[in-house]
Amino acid sequence: SPTTPSPAPFDPYTAYVTVSSLNLRAAASSDAAVSSALSRGDRVQVTGKDVNGFTPIRHDGDAYWVTSGYLSRNRPEPLPASVKAPVRTMYTTTVLNVRVHPLAGSQLLGTLESGARITTAGAVAGSWTSITYQGGTGWVRSQYLTTNRPAPTSPTTGVALDKRCTTGLVVCISKSDRQLRLVQDGKILISLDARFGSEEGPTREGTFTIGWRSKDWVSTIYGSKMPYAMFFSGGQAIHYSSDFAARGYAGNSHGCVNIRSMGGIQYVWNHAPVGTTVVVYR
């Protein structure tokens, strides 16, 4: 049309909080003041479209902004009831988030390394297991625990690459040790710290190719900058993350592979053109 169209009208709707704690902010910014927090199952009215990764809502007659992605039109199920379970020593099979409640999206207490030794705390709830953590208790996904001690890595054998990473030029991404490696015919050219999505928004695993790239991309969903973005699976990309550089593993991506070294991501960008194979594995 030769004229600017009028904005489509927005119909407010009722939604429910899906996480254990959701901050109420005065503006659509992570720097905005927080007045209080909502709990899982609390009802709000969504009053407009998302802006910069935040959703405008009304609660108890007042207007606020909340982080997008944690509201649903459907009332969430209650937390699973916990039952007693034997206390035993176990090991993690991957990098694993420790949460306050047995719920994806619950407050994050910390992260366990792959192969970490833990002691269960005597309870399970659905697909979650309680563990002792930093003098208290937390919850982790049961499927990522094993009673078998992981085999130590031999210093003489170097890094055990997935076999898919040994032929040609491959961006080889291991969730187990949280590393992105650019590999040429089995030789590692560079190894970089990497951060991934959470349980509710995981980084997809498998064999892909870099489909397209953008050096100055900005997320159309969250409004966050994604320098040196190399897209390999739909909206999931390898890119530099200032949040990863600032907070480390205290956070997570929305499914992308975050890199915290600017020099490192620039090296990968310069050596991994469109069409390069990407392998993501545990």
pLDDT, average across residues 208-231? 92
Burial (0-12, 13-18, 19+ Cβ within 10 Å), 273: exposed
Boundaries of every domain in the chain = 13-72, 83-146, 163-281
pLDDT above 90 as % of the chain: 54
- Sorted by sequence, the CB contacts under 8 Å of residue 240 that are 6+ apart come out as 226, 227, 228, 258, 259, 260, 261, 262, 265
pLDDT of residue 105: 66
Q: Do domains 13-72 and 83-146 have the same CATH topology?
A: yes
Residue 95 binned pLDDT confidence (cut-offs 50, 70, 90):
low
Element (DSSP H or E) covering residue 109: strand 108-112
pLDDT tops 70 at residue 154: no
What is the DSSP code (8-state) at residue 222? T
Residue 157 binned pLDDT confidence (cut-offs 50, 70, 90):
very low
pLDDT of residue 11: 92
pLDDT of residue 152: 52
- Assign domain 13-72 to its CATH architecture: Roll (2.30)
pLDDT of residue 153: 45
Residues 37/23, Cβ–Cβ less than 8 Å: yes
pLDDT of residue 155: 37
pLDDT, average across residues 106-121? 83
Q: Which of 4 and 258 is assigned the larger pLDDT?
A: 258
pLDDT tops 50 at residue 242: yes
Q: Which CATH superfamily is domain 83-146 in?
A: SH3 Domains (2.30.30.40)
pLDDT, average across residues 229-250? 91
What pTM was computed for the model? 0.50
Residue whose token pair is 């949040």: 243
Q: Which of 108 and 236 is assigned the larger pLDDT?
A: 236
The pLDDT tens digits for 29-87 are 888 899 999 988 899 999 999 888 899 999 999 999 999 888 999 988 777 888 999 99
pLDDT of residue 248: 84
d(CA 50, CA 277): 34
pLDDT tops 80 at residue 259: yes
**Sign of CA pseudo-dihedral 228, 95, 244, 186:** negative
Range in 7-16, 151-160, 168-177, 212-221 with the lowest mean pLDDT: 151-160
pLDDT of residue 66: 94
Return the CATH number of the domain spanning residue range 163-281: 2.40.440.10
The mean pLDDT value of the chain amounts to 88
Element (DSSP H or E) covering residue 271: helix 262-271
